[in-house]
Amino acid sequence: MSTPTVLLSGVFALAASGVFAQAPAFEVATIKPTAPDWDGGKIIRMESANRFVALDYTLKALVGAAYNLTPSTISVGPGWMETDGYDILAKTPGEVRPGLDEQMSMLRSLLADRFKLSFHREQKELSIYALTVAKNGSKLKESTAPPDQLPVLTNHIFPDHVSLPGRNATMAQLASVLQRAVADRPVIDKTGLGGKYDFDLEWTADETQFGGQIRGTPAQPTRPGLFTAMQEQLGLKLEATKSPVEVLVIDRVERPSAN
């Protein structure tokens, strides 16, 4: 199997959490425009216990990651929010690698401080995907991980397919990854499944997924599309419907302050 070439917004592995006495913030962070010749894809991850990295992320994508939102639920804002890519290199506090929630809390603080982001929320009727159990029932297996082991959900994007292994993961966490990185609309867990599961999902992505970063499908795909793969491999469905959804409306934002 070839090495995955692109990592995108929903890609994460939850690691051991540090303990912070107050709302966490990065100790130091640099923000620079992405180089015009960058071709390494969009990346957001912890590269070490204390090094947080986001590469080629627009402000809209950063807001989506920080607040666990799909782009369609982020409203208004200047045009450059969707076109200008930024690289962020930041140092996290403490000696323990922060978990995902702490990383995103630090990112929210950074957006408010350096981009002067402010917003309010509204309810809006939107097209969504409801994550449900398929007609013939779930094919998920209960996780064999220890009860205190934190979940792992990581998108690996290869030239011809996407692999999403999940370990000790809930359906709410799967829905979150799908809406943050994969789908073009919010994904809401309506499975009614309350356990933690181990699974492997593989599919051929199309241009509607991953924020349009996938440029066409292979001439001879070796995996099914996402909707078929969900049913065949996990016994789950993504059903297109409409539902009231909380939308984040941008009130103010500025280009980032100098480092």
Digit-coded pLDDT (tens) for 62-98:
998 899 888 889 987 899 999 999 999 999 998 888 8
**8 A C-beta contact, residue 242 and residue 125:** yes
Q: Is 199 helix (H, G, I), strand (E, B) or coil?
A: strand
Compute and round to an integer the Cα radius of gyration of the chain. Answer: 18
> In whole angstroms, what is the distance from residue 164 CA to residue 177 CA?
10
Pick the more confident residue, 236 or 215. Answer: 236
List CB contacts of 169: < 8 A, sequence separation 6 or more: 143, 151, 152, 153, 196, 197, 198, 199
| Dihedral sign from CA coordinates of 239, 240, 245, 249 | positive
- Average pLDDT over every residue of 40-67: 89
Confidence of residue 111 (pLDDT cuts 50, 70, 90): very high
Pick the more confident residue, 155 or 113. Answer: 113
Q: Look up the pTM and report it.
A: 0.75
Does residue 15 surpass a pLDDT of 50? Answer: no
Digit-coded pLDDT (tens) for 157-195:
888 899 999 999 999 999 998 988 788 899 999 999 999
